[in-house]
Amino acid sequence: MRILIYSSNNPIAQAAAACAAACHAARRGERVLLASSGPGHLIGALLGQNLSPRPLELESNLAAMEIGALEEVGARWDVVRPTLRSGIVARLRDLSGDELPSFPGMDAVSALLVADRARSTGQFDLVVLAGPAPDSLVRALTLPDVMRWLLRILFGLDRGPGKSRSSQETALIPAALIAPNMTAPLQDVRVVLEEQRARLDPAAGALVRIVTTPIELRLPTLQTDLTGLGLYGLAVDELVVPGAPAEVPDEIRKLYGHEAGPSRPSLRIGTLPTGIADRDEWALRGAALYHDGPVISSPPRTNDNPRELRLVIPFLDPKSLDIAVANEEVVVRIGQFRRHLLLPGLLEGGKLRARVENEVLRLWVE
């Protein structure tokens, strides 16, 4: 199953691109789940349908839903909290899913929970997500790093049982003083978050497409978004630009596409009406945008070497790159973005190696 995320700072254009792609793919024979995330849902309005957090079958190959972030995260919490049986964390059992607060990245986390459930059913070939916005998506990807940092500061646990002596010595509450079953639920939450982030890896079949405008193509914020998403392992294969080709000058075209570099997303320029329409019209809009071809034609990227990590990072400036090893983790920083990585072999005393080749960051352990 593939996951296709349409992300944009323009909610209407984002929802329109998702509706067009989903309806077109369904008419080509793919089993599609179309879902929107975020506080403002638009796909139901654009399709002329009343949608809810439960998937509604619109036709033989197409179902649609509007994700309730609080409900999705709350339902997952209600599954976890019965395991909190003793110690301090047992008091968290009294906290129901209805009492959980909103947090940055919740929309993206809930969308991934829905995509994961759709994968487990085996009923869909493609999940098309309308949203979240690029900054919300990046915030969700940082949650596993935040959770690992919290566990290291509080209990000295870097991963699993914790092997970093320095972390254990500086922990606010050393793990040796508390029962293992008190920290296990927190570790479980961290593992779940890391598993959800792994669902967005290109090898798992996930792609991101940013819906932008000719004006935004000229602004540095778009390049910053692409760099951040690439650092966290997301593959942005296309920039969808509603408009006429003449609106995108040649100097902008030279910044994108494979001619500009293997890491740069291609430009898909075409008309994309955003008015309310039935599914037949949305399928025609998708067919026009994708020239009657498949919505996704590229196979998932694979990594044959488990001891090597390749990050495709558009607009990567090697001078802004900082790589260090701290608490048995590889810390990669680019500007205001920082990612923490665990590489096989590092704990066994291997030496970290790094190289930048055509905006592709290679990390491996010898």
Could you tell me if 130 and 14 lie in one domain? yes
Beta-ladder partners of 230: none
Structure tokens that stand for 10 in this block: 């323009």
Q: Is residue 194 part of a domain?
A: yes
Could you tell me if 195 and 316 lie in one domain? no
- What CATH number does residue 110 fall under? 3.40.50.300
| Residue 85 pLDDT level (bands cut at 50, 70, 90) | low
Q: Is residue 302 part of a domain?
A: no
Q: Is residue 319 part of a domain?
A: yes
| Residue 161 pLDDT level (bands cut at 50, 70, 90) | very low
Q: Is residue 166 part of a domain?
A: no
> Mean pLDDT in the chain?
83
Q: Beta-carbon neighbour count of residue 193 at 10 Å?
A: 22
Higher local confidence (pLDDT), 351 or 328: 351
Q: Beta-carbon neighbour count of residue 325 at 10 Å?
A: 13
Q: Is residue 226 part of a domain?
A: no
| 228, pLDDT greater than 50 | yes
Q: What is the pTM of this model?
A: 0.86
Of the listed ranges 41-45, 181-185, 308-312, the one predicted with least confidence: 181-185
Structure tokens that stand for 257 in this block: 């596409």
Domain boundary among 289, 321, 350: 289
Output the pLDDT for position 162. 45
Phi, psi of 327 (to 5 degrees): 50, 45
Report for 95-109, 143-157, 240-254: range of highest mean pLDDT: 240-254
177's CB contacts (< 8 A; 6+ apart) are none
The predicted model gives 149-162 an average pLDDT of: 59
Report for 42-46, 129-133, 260-264: range of highest mean pLDDT: 42-46
3-state secondary structure of 168: helix
Report for 50-54, 139-143, 161-165, 183-187: range of highest mean pLDDT: 50-54
| 50, pLDDT greater than 80 | yes
Could you tell me if 277 and 351 lie in one domain? no
Domain boundary among 255, 289, 323: 289
Domain span at residue 53 reads 2-135+183-211+271-289
Q: Is residue 327 part of a domain?
A: yes
Burial 149-163 (b: 16+ CB within 10 A, else e): eebbeebbbbbeebe
| 193, pLDDT greater than 70 | no
Could you tell me if 196 and 279 lie in one domain? yes
Output the pLDDT for position 263. 85
Higher local confidence (pLDDT), 117 or 143: 117
The predicted model gives 332-341 an average pLDDT of: 89
121 burial (CB, 10 Å; 0-12 / 13-18 / 19+) is exposed
Q: Is residue 200 part of a domain?
A: yes
Q: Is residue 235 part of a domain?
A: no
